[in-house]
Structure 1
Amino acid sequence: MSDKNEQIGVFQEKYNTSIKRKQYDFTWRISQLSTWLANVEGVQCSPVFPSDSKEKIRWELRFYPKSYTVDQYCSLFLKMHSSMNPQKDVPVTSNLALMDSKGKIFFKLVVSAKFKANESRGYTQFFLLETLLQKIQPEDELSIKCTIEAQVEIVTKPEKVMKLPEIVSSSLSQDLETLVGDEQFGDVTMVVCGEKQLAHRNILAARSPVFAAMFSHPLKESVENCVVVEDVEPTVFKALLRYIYTDKVTCLDTKAQELYAAADKYGLPALKSLCRNNILEKLCPENAADTLKLADLHSDLEMKRYTLAFFSGSKAAQMTKTAGWKDMVRTHPHLVDEAFDALAARVP
């Protein structure tokens, strides 16, 4: 049993999920572009940026002076180098701008795409080469400015964890249990087979319709504040009271049948159900006849059906040899008929 002053610690945790973005700015300046174009072939690659090799994602511009599809155009591609999951898509928005030596932008383009590791995105016909050469004169210098915003990953982080004040657990059941047999505040005397015990009318009436009827009418029990019980053992009645006060069940292992009968008498269906299940869990050839008589006495169809089904199984021969069966033949012959009817119904 837990301490009535037991405290429960309550933790309140909050998490925040956000998209982690990174921005990369890079400018690639190419001097003497005309001379450069006359002496190079194929793709020309910028330095990989950012320069820190520890970065998980890095970028590279790939410039083709002559497009491999149309000679009159140059091509420009953006390549992602990544040490992350090669199958992971990285959403990217890139701003590409062409500038002359004075920093004047004469062409710009916004590209949105998803990149995988070592994948390139761009345009084969990015800009007309002849026009490009005209735009950068007379200095003959081209700058390619690239601004990239990449959704690097989705991050979930705990916010500040706050421990709420501890909540004292409810001790209602334990407090009510102290009232069982209480000599100070009891207002009705229960006389059980000669033994006296004080109880509380309001609690008994709230839990049992039988006690409620007893105390709400001018009966002897209500007038004299005394209830005489002759057909329930004192230990069983104490267990009944404890259940009424606390919803806890004791002595099921030793007094299940007696407690079942008391629960039925005082209109406690939940306790009756608990006792029934305990009885049926322990059903065996030696006690099956007594269980069948108990079910019949209290008009419990569920218990009767379950017990008859047990009898109609392979245990029938063992049951008919027990003292309980022989007593049932003498005192409850109609149950013998029901048992054999159930057995016959199962025979193909």
Structure 2
Amino acid sequence: MADQCRVSAAALIAASEECSYVFNFKIQGYSRAKELFKNGECVASPPFSLGGYSWVLRYCPNRRLAGQVSYTQLVLDSDDAKYVKAQPRFTVLDKDGVPAKQLSGFIQQRIFPFRGASLGLLMDQPWSGQSEHLVDDCLSIRCDLTLIKDVCSEQTMGDQFVVVPPSDLHRHFGNLLESMVGADVTFHVGGKEFLAHRFVLAARSSVFEAELLGAMKENVGSPIVIHEMEPDVFKFLLHFIYTDSLPVLEFDTDQGEAVVMAGHLLVAADRYNVQRLKLICEHKLCSHIDANMVATSLALAEQHSCHGLKEACLQFLSSPSNLKAMMESDGYEHLKRSCPSALKDLIVRLLPVEMEVAKDIVMAI
């Protein structure tokens, strides 16, 4: 009698559980922010936690899409987050802290696939000057956030002969990066040579797509020289492009070196329009702001349109002791030379609300 092979299996029966959190976000100096912030620029809230994940709210006073509107955005801000299901509701509060029904918006359940993922709500803005929604020129936005977690229980089922493993696409592309089988483009960076696959780069970066496949494409077969970038930075940029991960930011290495590398990678990610990498680096810098690094980070934020990092730096410098320490740091002179506009924003932030004329003078200089 032939031997029989049986494979035991269990079905996962999905249910869900919910946890909720209410966060009030206050935008101080709303009228001034509305005047100074450009289209799409945002002010960020301090991070808050729900369901083991970190979240941040962003508010854009000016978002010109269909008329003049404001924009409230919820951002997932945790390193290890993947496919988080959440449901936010945004509401403007009146003077008494009561939600204004006509100024609220409800969003159906959405999936946040990774850190830096966001969703937002456009809000009509004819009310922006109405006093009942401003207290001492402060606008309050409430976010009711509900997190939905899937809960699974096991139920024995019949024979199952095939078990599908999780995706390992990143591992295969990582192996391709290491072996360089079929590589068809060569880069020279800081005296070192790197091989790559032009279609992989083009799929991950619109800049590489234009340079390698579009009208701007380099001569096929000729090495491409990358200027103003260190070899290690380009190496980690390639690693992220192939694997969508960046181990250098997660290793237990010297934090100072990791923060410096994050700054260099942010510049590279902005240069090649790798937006997720840029957000990862921006988050890393926001998490490691101190008196020695804040001037450099503020200059970086101003030069590369990192609104969250800029807000984190300005909040840090609102402390007189932090401001004094920053002015004594090596990065302060660089900040003065390279980004005087950031210093103007800092001065305007530090001036009291009643000194509106002084703020206008500073911004006009």
Q: Does the aligned pair in 2 maintain the 1:183–1:198 contact within 8 Å?
A: yes
Aligned to 2:191: 194
Inter-partner Cα distance in structure 1 for 2:303 and 2:156: 64
Inter-partner Cα distance in structure 2 for 1:309 and 1:346: 16
Q: Does the aligned pair in 2 maintain the 1:181–1:198 contact within 8 Å?
A: no
1:130-169 aligned at under 5 Å gives the runs 162=159, 165-169=162-166
Name which of 232, 235, 259 aligns with 1:235: 232
Aligned to 2:309: 303
Q: Does the aligned pair in 2 maintain the 1:11–1:162 contact within 8 Å?
A: no
Name which of structure 1's ranges 262-271 and 183-192 shifts more when overlaid on structure 2: 183-192
Task: State the shift of 1:242 in Å.
Answer: 0.9
Task: State the shift of 1:184 in Å.
Answer: 3.1
Give the gaps of 5 or more residues in structure 1: 1-8, 15-157
AA at the equivalent of 1:288: V
Inter-partner Cα distance in structure 1 for 2:228 and 2:265: 11
CA 1:191–1:337 in 2, change beyond 3 Å: closer, same or farther?
same
CA 1:336–1:223 in 2, change beyond 3 Å: closer, same or farther?
same
Q: Does the aligned pair in 1 maintain the 2:173–2:243 contact within 8 Å?
A: yes
Q: Is residue 177 from structure 1 mapped to residue 168 from structure 2 by the alignment?
A: no
Alignment: residue pair count: 197
AA at the equivalent of 1:285: A
CA 1:163–1:12 in 2, change beyond 3 Å: closer, same or farther?
farther
Q: Is residue 328 from structure 1 mapped to residue 327 from structure 2 by the alignment?
A: no
CA 1:195–1:166 in 2, change beyond 3 Å: closer, same or farther?
same
Superposition misfits of 4+ residues, deviation over 4 angstroms: 158-164, 345-348
Name which of 247, 251, 259 aligns with 2:244: 247
RMSD: 2.6
Aligned to 1:344: 351
AA at the equivalent of 2:206: P
1:27-66 aligned at under 5 Å gives the runs none
Name which of 267, 271, 281 aligns with 2:277: 271
Inter-partner Cα distance in structure 2 for 1:13 and 1:339: 54
CA 1:246–1:320 in 2, change beyond 3 Å: closer, same or farther?
same
Inter-partner Cα distance in structure 2 for 1:330 and 1:197: 35
Aligned to 1:129: none
Q: Deviations over 1:65-89 (max 9, x none)?
A: xxxxxxxxxxxxxxxxxxxxxxxxx
Aligned to 2:11: 12
Name which of structure 1's ranges 225-234 and 191-200 shifts more when overlaid on structure 2: 225-234
Q: Is residue 215 from structure 1 mapped to residue 212 from structure 2 by the alignment?
A: yes
Inter-partner Cα distance in structure 2 for 1:13 and 1:218: 51
Inter-partner Cα distance in structure 2 for 1:209 and 1:174: 23
Secondary structure at the residue paired with 1:197? Answer: strand
Q: Does the aligned pair in 1 maintain the 2:295–2:335 contact within 8 Å?
A: yes
Inter-partner Cα distance in structure 1 for 2:12 and 2:289: 50
Q: Does the aligned pair in 2 maintain the 1:12–1:162 contact within 8 Å?
A: no
Aligned to 1:256: 262
AA at the equivalent of 1:248: S
Q: Which has the larger radius of gyration?
A: 1
Give the gaps of 5 or more residues in structure 2: 1-7, 14-154, 250-254, 356-365
Task: State the shift of 1:265 in Å.
Answer: 0.4
CA 1:222–1:165 in 2, change beyond 3 Å: closer, same or farther?
same
